[in-house]
Amino acid sequence: MFQDRSWTGVLDIGGDPIGARVLARFAPQIQGEEFDLLYVLNANRPETRNVDRALAYMQGIEAECRQKVTGIVNNTHLCGETTAAEILKGADLAGQLSRQTGLPVVCHAVERRLVPQVENTLIEPILPMDLYMKKPWEITTCEEEHLLWPEP
């Protein structure tokens, strides 16, 4: 993507300042390029559980990757235990962060089964998500045969 401009893609650089260092390596190539750096926020993480912590974490990412965040994505979840209340809690935190920084809330990532419970409450777009990752104890014997890295 940095050398062949015909490509468009999404880079998941990791959810912390250390992961953002990877993007810093490409700072010279992307300086002046048109792109969005989205801050993906999970209000259930200890590092981002309130607006002050979320802002400090975002600023740490910006400092490490030498880029500025352009928008916020609410991705609040508890894996398979997520409820509509959790999504709305994250939406509230994303809204607080948006008001404090002036950055837009781009969307809310919501597990598809929960969309009907929150769609009339959330103002910003919803990105419906289907979960495919399973915990090791949730994998059936049949599924084990198709793992990329089977257990020895």
Q: Is residue 9 classed as helix, strand or coil in its secondary structure?
A: coil
Please report the sign of the dihedral spanned by the C-alpha atoms of residue 56, residue 58, residue 63, residue 64: positive
Residue 2 · residue 8 · CB < 8 Å: no
Report the pLDDT value the prediction gives residue 65, as an integer from 0 to 100: 86
Rounded mean pLDDT of the chain? Answer: 85
CB neighbourhood size of 150 (10 A): 8
pLDDT > 70: percent of the chain: 85
Confidence at residue 130, expressed as pLDDT on a 0 to 100 scale? 87
Classify residue 102 as left (phi > 0), alpha (psi -120 to 50) or beta: left
Give per-residue pLDDT as tens, 59-89.
999 998 888 999 999 999 988 789 999 999 9
67-81, 95-109, 114-128, 130-144: least confidently modelled range: 130-144
